[in-house]
């Protein structure tokens, strides 16, 4: 019989070993990779899971910094309120224990025993109903929400935040009598605004979590909010919180406070007069105003009317708007309400564009004088009422005085606000230089003001500008700007030629009283010379002096100013029957400290829509009150002194 050698060859042995060890090797590599992931890549995740198993953390809310005006008057501060929370696991345990106690008491009563006076005897269901009813009433939340919270699989669930102390005390007194610890409170903070609607769009407000929303509250949220602390407490093997001695406290670091350039008194003057103007002329699309230090850029006051109550920001503040909303069908109300609410929160001075109209002639004046394209003393301009530009068809641009102003000096042309004269001035400056100065005055960029949501202008770029666009731009049409861009650029034309960055905050002070940041004058560039700026001031003072009552003329004060009236842009198109009225003025005219801009968006044209009629009287009233408040006393000319109404004493 033939035999076969069954001994494996070396080659076969290698194959067998490879078949066994290769899978083992791959398995080992997989285990090593998993270990690396566990110990390195996923270390933080598993460490947090372990910490959550062995420790519990309770947040200590940092106190939010306050906001003060330039004189230290509080505009926003935080006060102590409370969070009410439940430990659902502990609650169920305590209710079971109470249930046993109640059953025992009932058994004793049934057996004829007498219990001590005021001993509570009830059932678990009745007591739970009483607890739910109390919490629902005191915390203003539904009973279903409370019942759901009681069944949560957690040891910490917040029922309500921002609970006032008296309410929190009532709740705690109730549960203390029951000897229950599963529902309790912890300190929280609530934002209060003692001046209510004053400077509302500038200050902004916080949400229910204490985070800044809109205005300075949002822009400086990082400084104001501080750093929360925490209490870390160990858990036992069953997951129960251990006694206090096993806890570690990490104290909260309270936020810093803001000290503003805003002056509450000037802010009040501005808001009071804006409201009066808006109601008198039935302004449809809100009004706004700015008072600024012409040399430093410090904002003394900034307002939008209608305002809103910072302590109740979701309430529609304007009565007319609220009435219109309430008259809407139910299906339309919610969207309209949200739109109206968000509109009242917006700061019109920095978030909306408008065509400036003749106020822009200040810029054309400044650039023409700087370039010596105009001599105010010797140049004359003839206005026939319109200018026609060749084309197919031709384009005719009219003056507001259709019959024309005739022959006039440059100073008279500015006082008359003559469009044809300024079209000629713009032509002398030329497209290239006009666009250069337009940019140099800051009209192609955001100002950099320390407020959120500032937008930039929409303007005609040089490569697209022709002679017609240059002509209309020269007297304030074609381009759209924000009020803050306008006042900042105008300040540069009258403060010596310097473009300064506007700012609302003067300094930031830490919770321990150290000044951590200050905001001074930030000069971006010099646009025109001191001499040219002085000439602009002189010309604008002449506008006020010569126009008298239709401008910001105040006896005893040297004031420069200019009115503007423009067509309103609606849905991207220029309207023919809706207007924007505006007025800017500054004082003292020879050495300006304050500059002001007032704007009324869409006044009722049947009552009045020219800047000289709508906004100039408003600006005059604000300026007169402001100058007296700032300590500027009237210095009458001889003519003014003779015209003063001096009371004559009655002599008997």
CB atoms within 10 A of CB 30: 10
573-587 and 560-570 strand pairing: antiparallel
Q: Does residue 624 sit in helix, strand or coil? A: helix
At residue 54 the predicted structure's pLDDT band, cuts being 50, 70 and 90, is low
- For residue 325, CA distances in Å to 5, 316, 322, 606 come to 102, 9, 5, 25
Residue 227's pLDDT is what?
87
Q: What tokens were used for 502?
A: 């506007």
DSSP string across 564-580: EEEEEEETTEEEEEEEE
CB atoms within 10 A of CB 83: 18
CA dihedral for 356, 362, 363, 368, sign (positive or negative)? positive
Residue 208's pLDDT is what?
80
Q: Which residues pair with 290 in a beta bridge?
A: 302, 597
- For residue 532, CA distances in Å to 372, 418, 440 come to 9, 21, 15
Q: Which of 115-129, 166-180, 193-207, 323-337 has the lowest mean pLDDT?
A: 115-129
Q: Is there a contact between 238 and 271 (Cβ–Cβ < 8 Å)?
A: no
Q: Is there a contact between 546 and 415 (Cβ–Cβ < 8 Å)?
A: yes
| 105, pLDDT greater than 90 | no
Q: What tokens were used for 630?
A: 């700032």
According to DSSP, residue 193 is labeled -
- Higher-confidence residue: 20 or 231? 231
The CA-CA-CA angle for residues 18, 22, 26, to 5°, reads 175
Q: Which of 493, 560, 502 is nearest to 526 (CA)?
A: 493
- Higher-confidence residue: 223 or 124? 223
DSSP string across 302-322: EEEES---TTSTTS---HHHH
At residue 99 the predicted structure's pLDDT band, cuts being 50, 70 and 90, is confident
Q: Is there a contact between 284 and 534 (Cβ–Cβ < 8 Å)?
A: no
- Higher-confidence residue: 270 or 117? 270
H runs (alpha helix) in 354-453? 361-370, 410-416, 419-429, 431-440
- Higher-confidence residue: 389 or 15? 389
Q: Is there a contact between 274 and 598 (Cβ–Cβ < 8 Å)?
A: yes
d(CA 19, CA 171): 73
At residue 652 the predicted structure's pLDDT band, cuts being 50, 70 and 90, is very low
H runs (alpha helix) in 208-263? 215-219, 221-225
157-163 and 183-192 strand pairing: unpaired
d(CA 378, CA 494): 22
According to DSSP, residue 40 is labeled I
Q: Which of 75, 108, 115 is nearest to 265 (CA)?
A: 75
d(CA 612, CA 550): 5
CB atoms within 10 A of CB 252: 18
Residue 517's pLDDT is what?
97
Q: What tokens were used for 382?
A: 């003839």
Q: What tokens were used for 131?
A: 């607890």
Domains of the chain: 77-194 (no CATH), 301-643 (3.40.710.10)
At residue 1 the predicted structure's pLDDT band, cuts being 50, 70 and 90, is very low
| 33, pLDDT greater than 90 | no
Q: To which H or E segment does residue 521 belong? A: none
Residue 26's pLDDT is what?
67
d(CA 56, CA 247): 9
d(CA 460, CA 435): 9
d(CA 129, CA 136): 11
CB atoms within 10 A of CB 84: 22
Q: Tokens 């502990």 correspond to what residue?
A: 90
Q: Does residue 1 sit in helix, strand or coil? A: coil
End-to-end CA distance of the chain: 166
Provide the whole-model pTM. Answer: 0.83
> Please, which residues have CB within 8 angstroms of residue 314's CB and are 6 or more apart in sequence?
341
Q: Is there a contact between 565 and 578 (Cβ–Cβ < 8 Å)?
A: no
- For residue 231, CA distances in Å to 56, 60, 61, 245 come to 8, 7, 11, 11
Residue 584's pLDDT is what?
98
According to DSSP, residue 26 is labeled H
Kindly give the interhelix angle for 431-440 and 419-429, rounded to the nearest 10 degrees.
100
CB atoms within 10 A of CB 272: 16
Q: Tokens 């670091």 correspond to what residue?
A: 253
- Higher-confidence residue: 148 or 51? 148
At residue 2 the predicted structure's pLDDT band, cuts being 50, 70 and 90, is very low
Specify whether the backbone of 239 is left (phi greater than 0), alpha (psi in -120 to 50) or beta: left
DSSP string across 107-170: HHHHTT--PPTT-----HHHHHHHHHHHHHHHHT--HHHHHHHHT-SSS-EEEEEEE-HHHHHH
Q: To which H or E segment does residue 626 belong? A: helix 611-629
Q: Which of 210, 249, 255, 246 is nearest to 229 (CA)?
A: 249
Q: Does residue 39 sit in helix, strand or coil? A: helix
The CA-CA-CA angle for residues 509, 514, 517, to 5°, reads 50
Q: Is there a contact between 201 and 307 (Cβ–Cβ < 8 Å)?
A: yes
According to DSSP, residue 558 is labeled -
| 79, pLDDT greater than 50 | yes
> Cα torsion for 97, 98, 101, 103, to the nearest 10°?
-110
Tens of pLDDT, residue by residue over 169-217, are: 999 999 998 888 899 898 888 899 999 999 999 999 999 888 999 999 9
Tens of pLDDT, residue by residue over 458-496, are: 999 999 999 999 999 999 999 999 999 999 999 999 999
Q: What would the mean pLDDT of 313-326 be, rounded to a whole number?
A: 94
Whole-angstrom Cα Rg for the chain: 36
Q: What share of the chain in percent tops pLDDT 90?
A: 69
């Amino acid at each position: 019989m033939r035999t076969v050698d069954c001994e494996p060859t070396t080659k076969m042995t290698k194959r067998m070993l490879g078949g066994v060890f290769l899978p083992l090797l791959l398995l080992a590599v997989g285990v090593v990779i998993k270990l690396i992931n566990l110990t390195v890549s996923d270390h933080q995740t598993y460490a947090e899971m372990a910490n959550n198993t062995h420790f519990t953390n309770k947040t200590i809310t940092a106190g939010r910094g306050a906001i003060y005006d330039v004189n230290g008057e509080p505009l926003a501060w935080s006060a102590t309120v409370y969070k009410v929370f439940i430990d659902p696991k502990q609650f169920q345990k305590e209710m079971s224990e109470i249930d046993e106690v109640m059953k025992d008491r009932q058994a004793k009563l049934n057996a004829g025993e007498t219990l001590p006076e005021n001993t509570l005897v009830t059932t678990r269901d009745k007591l739970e109903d009483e607890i739910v009813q109390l919490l629902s009433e005191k915390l203003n939340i539904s009973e279903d929400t409370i019942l759901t919270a009681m069944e949560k699989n957690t040891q910490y669930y917040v029922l309500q935040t921002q609970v006032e102390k008296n309410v929190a005390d009532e709740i705690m007194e109730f549960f203390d009598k029951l000897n229950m610890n599963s529902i309790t409170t912890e300190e929280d903070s609530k934002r209060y605004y003692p001046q209510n609607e004053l400077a509302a769009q500038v200050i902004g407000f916080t949400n229910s979590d204490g985070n800044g929303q809109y205005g300075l509250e949002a822009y400086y949220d990082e400084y104001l909010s501080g750093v929360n602390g925490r209490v870390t407490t160990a858990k036992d093997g069953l997951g129960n919180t251990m006694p206090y001695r096993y806890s570690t406290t990490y104290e909260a670091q309270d936020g810093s406070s803001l000290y503003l350039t805003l002056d509450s008194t000037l802010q009040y003057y501005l808001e009071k007069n804006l409201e009066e103007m808006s109601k008198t002329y039935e302004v449809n699309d809100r009004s706004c105003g700015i008072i600024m230090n012409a040399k430093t850029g410090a904002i003394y006051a900034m307002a939008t009317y209608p305002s809103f109550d910072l302590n109740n920001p979701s309430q529609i503040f304007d009565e007319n708007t609220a009435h219109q909303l309430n008259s809407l069908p139910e299906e339309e109300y919610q969207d309209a309400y949200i739109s109206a609410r968000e509109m009242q929160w917006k700061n019109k001075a920095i978030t909306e564009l408008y065509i400036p109209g003749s106020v822009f002639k200040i810029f054309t004046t400044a650039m023409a004088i700087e370039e010596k394209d105009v001599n105010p003393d010797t140049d004359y301009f003839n206005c026939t009422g319109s200018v026609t530009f060749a084309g197919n068809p031709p384009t005719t641009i009219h003056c507001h005085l259709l019959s024309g102003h005739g022959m006039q000096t440059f100073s008279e042309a500015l006082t008359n606000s003559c469009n044809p004269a300024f079209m000629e001035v713009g032509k002398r400056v030329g497209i290239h230089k006009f666009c250069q100065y337009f940019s140099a005055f800051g009209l192609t960029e955001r100002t950099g003001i320390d407020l959120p949501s500032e937008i930039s202008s929409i303007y005609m770029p040089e490569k697209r500008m022709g002679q017609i666009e240059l002509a209309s731009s020269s007297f304030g049409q074609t381009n759209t700007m924000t009020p803050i861009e306008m006042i900042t650029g105008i300040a540069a034309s009258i403060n010596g030629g310097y473009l300064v960055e506007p700012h609302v905050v003067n300094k930031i002070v830490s919770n321990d009283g150290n000044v951590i940041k200050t905001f001074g004058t930030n000069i971006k560039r010099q646009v025109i010379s001191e001499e040219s700026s002085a000439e602009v001031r002189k010309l604008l003072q002449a506008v006020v002096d010569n126009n008298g009552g239709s401008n910001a003329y105040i006896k005893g004060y040297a004031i420069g100013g200019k009115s503007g009236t423009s067509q309103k842009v609606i849905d991207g198109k220029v309207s023919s029957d809706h207007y924007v009225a505006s007025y800017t003025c500054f004082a003292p005219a020879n050495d300006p400290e304050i500059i002001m801009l007032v704007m009324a968006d869409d006044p009722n044209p049947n009552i009045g829509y020219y800047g000289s009629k709508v906004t100039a009287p408003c600006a005059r009233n604000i300026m007169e009150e402001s100058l007296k408040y700032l300590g500027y006393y009237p210095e009458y000319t001889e003519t003014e002194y003779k015209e003063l109404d001096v009371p004559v004493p009655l002599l008997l």
